[in-house]
């Protein structure tokens, strides 16, 4: 007989989540799941606070659900800010347990040409879009976060411009994470792409994703430091922390060809002026400042 579990979820104030998680862990005798926010970010300092958080535990059958649920209600009733919280109970089978998380990852159309899709949701009809197969993993970048989406839209507009020959464009993806930007560049026609990251694990994930998308022959994934990379890139993408964007500005600009385009993302709107000020001393022309949610993406062109 297939295993089954009761799932008990509590939507509680964020500052009470840790206390509730400890209680549910003791109640279930196993680990708990604290809801991951729908963001890909680089640092917890960059994630805007959220008012509530969902904490979930799982009870294997058979169990005395009524007494366990009474214990949860009693605990919440005595916890400040949680008196009105109502635990949600559902029954999960073995198949639900193994695959229910996949329901949160669906194909995502970006711009006019790109489609980000997990491997289990491969569409039969792309509607003329280039499909990027990307399963959720340990590296940053699934396409759902505003910073990545803004980069992808800017990259598409550059590589599909009427006067651009994508195969002749050399691209640098700085802080590649999952490799999504480098893969998108290849899908849009670029043939010479360097994808670098300081995290060896991210580089490994990026390489695996390049192979999965059959573009590994056009993308070099490595941990090569920025100062050791060559000059002469027509497009540089940097979706990293605002502070790192400013710190690395001299080396980034040095590697951009005159007339080349620099796409900077990972910038909270409140840090936009900080990044613009950091790039002001360099021979760059600000072409665009694009926004989505609480994030912005800056597009510069290097002056001849």
Residue 16 sits in a domain of what CATH number? 3.30.70.120
Same domain, 109 and 242: yes
Confidence of residue 92 (pLDDT cuts 50, 70, 90): confident
Look at residues 138, 144, 134 and name the one whose alpha carbon lies nearest to residue 204. 138
Residue 116: CB atoms within 10 Å? 25
Whether 139 has a pLDDT exceeding 80, the answer reads no
75-89, 115-129, 205-219: which has the minimum mean pLDDT? Answer: 115-129
Do 146 and 28 sit in the same domain of this protein?
no
Task: Tell me the two tokens of residue 160.
Answer: 């599909």
Domain of 126 in residue numbering reads as: 105-302
Q: Are residues 110 and 241 in the same domain?
A: yes
Structurally, the chain folds into a number of domains equal to: 2
Q: What is the pTM of this model?
A: 0.69
Q: Has residue 280 got a pLDDT over 90?
A: yes
Last-in-domain residue among 103, 127, 161: 103
Kindly report the average pLDDT of the chain as a whole number.
87
Burial of 111 (0-12, 13-18, 19+ CB in 10 A): middle
Give the pLDDT score at 30: 75
| Residue count of the chain | 304
Q: Can the peptide bond before residue 62 be classed as cis, meaning omega within 30 degrees of 0? A: yes
Q: Taking the CB of residue 232, how many other CB atoms lie within 10 A of it? A: 12
pLDDT given for residue 60 in this prediction: 85
**Domain of residue 193, CATH code:** 3.40.50.150
Out of 198-207, 252-261, 283-292, least confident range:
198-207
Confidence (pLDDT) at 42: 42
**Mean pLDDT for the stretch of residues 115-131:** 77
C-beta separation of 134 from 215 below 8 A: no
Across the range 80-92, mean pLDDT stands at 90
Q: Both 170 and 270 in a single domain?
A: yes
Same domain membership, residue 169 and residue 272: yes
User: 39 and 14: one domain?
Assistant: yes
User: Are 98 and 231 in a shared domain?
Assistant: no
Residue 43: count of CB within 10 angstroms of its CB: 9
Of the two residues 301 and 202, the one the predictor is more confident about is 301
- Same-domain check for residues 202 and 245: yes
- Asked whether residue 126 falls in the same domain as residue 248, the answer is yes
């Amino acid at each position: 007989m297939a295993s089954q579990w009761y799932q008990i979820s509590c939507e509680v104030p964020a500052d009470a989540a840790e206390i509730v998680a400890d209680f549910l862990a003791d109640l279930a005798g196993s680990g708990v799941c604290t809801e991951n926010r729908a963001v890909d970010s680089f640092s917890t300092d960059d994630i805007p606070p959220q008012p509530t958080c969902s904490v979930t535990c799982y009870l294997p059958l058979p169990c005395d659900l009524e007494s366990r649920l009474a214990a949860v209600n009693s605990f919440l009733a005595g916890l400040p800010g949680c008196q009105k919280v109502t635990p949600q109970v559902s029954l999960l089978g073995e198949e639900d347990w193994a695959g229910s998380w996949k329901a949160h990852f669906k194909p995502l159309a970006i711009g006019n040409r790109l489609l980000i899709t997990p491997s289990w949701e491969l569409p039969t009809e792309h509607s003329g879009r280039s499909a990027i197969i990307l399963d959720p993993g340990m590296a940053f970048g699934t396409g759902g976060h505003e910073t990545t989406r803004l980069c992808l839209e800017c990259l598409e507009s550059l590589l599909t411009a009427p006067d651009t020959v994508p195969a002749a464009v050399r691209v640098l993806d700085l802080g590649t994470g999952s490799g999504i930007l480098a893969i998108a560049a290849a899908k849009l026609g670029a043939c010479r792409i360097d994808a670098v990251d300081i995290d060896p694990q991210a580089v490994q994930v990026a390489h695996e994703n390049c192979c999965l998308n059959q573009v590994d022959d056009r993308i070099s994934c490595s941990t090569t430091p920025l100062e050791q990379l060559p000059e002469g890139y027509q497009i540089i993408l940097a979706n990293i922390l605002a502070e790192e964007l400013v710190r690395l500005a001299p080396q980034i600009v040095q590697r951009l060809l005159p007339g080349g385009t620099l796409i900077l993302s990972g910038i909270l709107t409140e840090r936009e002026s900080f990044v613009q000020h950091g790039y002001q001393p360099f021979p760059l022309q600000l072409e665009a400042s694009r926004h989505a949610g609480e994030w912005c993406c800056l597009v510069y062109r290097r002056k001849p």
